[in-house]
Amino acid sequence: MLELWVILTPILLADVVNPVLFAFMVYAVGTDRPLSNSISALLGHTAAYLSFGIILALSFNIIKAGLANPKPVDYIISLIVGILLLWVAWRSRSKTADKKDKPQVEELTPLKSFTIGAIINIIGLPFALPYFAAVDQILKAELTVTSSVIVLVGYNLLYALPFLVVPVLVMMMGENSRPVLARINEKVDRVSTYLMPLLLGFVGMALVLDALLYFTSGKGLF
């Protein structure tokens, strides 16, 4: 299990750089229900991500169950995801976060925030690529169903953890948290412009190398 988390940690670091979710949570702080709306947005995003992960895992297992030798399938998936990650890293190397993506909502409620948080997850396909890699690594570990679900839930909780800074600052500072969060959001936006391509490229290269080693020597990196 520990070895699996050694592999999942860099994937998680690449996955968690999501300026769109953070920007919306900061936006939610500016509404009349800053705490409930920001928490609801995070809950909606997390619920969608966990559900998506379970569906992915079941889909991978169904595909592998119909094949005589399931092991190479894991590495084929790794190779495809790795190449896609490298492509996204290359495409995003000079792009900045699109400010127009911020949802414009006249009146925000916790239910709307939950829904928008889930939608941000669904439409954020480039950010889901590391998640494909994480699910694939969990399946390759050949854990029990219960252990796999526990690892997947743990991954999603760790993903959500950095975003809790938004409601925590709201609880601690109240109205004074808005300018602080706005500054943090600007820095996250700026850093993600450079950090995202590097992290995605690193994970992508590792997955491609893992698959190539398996197909040439019979033993992968992970």
Percent of the chain with pLDDT over 90: 18
The label of the residue with tokens 């850093």 reads 191
> What's the whole-number mean pLDDT along residues 42-61?
87
For residue range 53-102, list pLDDT tens digits in order: 888 888 776 666 544 454 676 677 777 877 876 776 676 655 544 444 44
Q: Which of 14-23, 40-49, 113-122, 176-185 is modeled with the greatest confidence?
A: 40-49
Q: Is the pLDDT of residue 27 over 80?
A: yes
Contact 86, 201 (CB under 8 A): yes
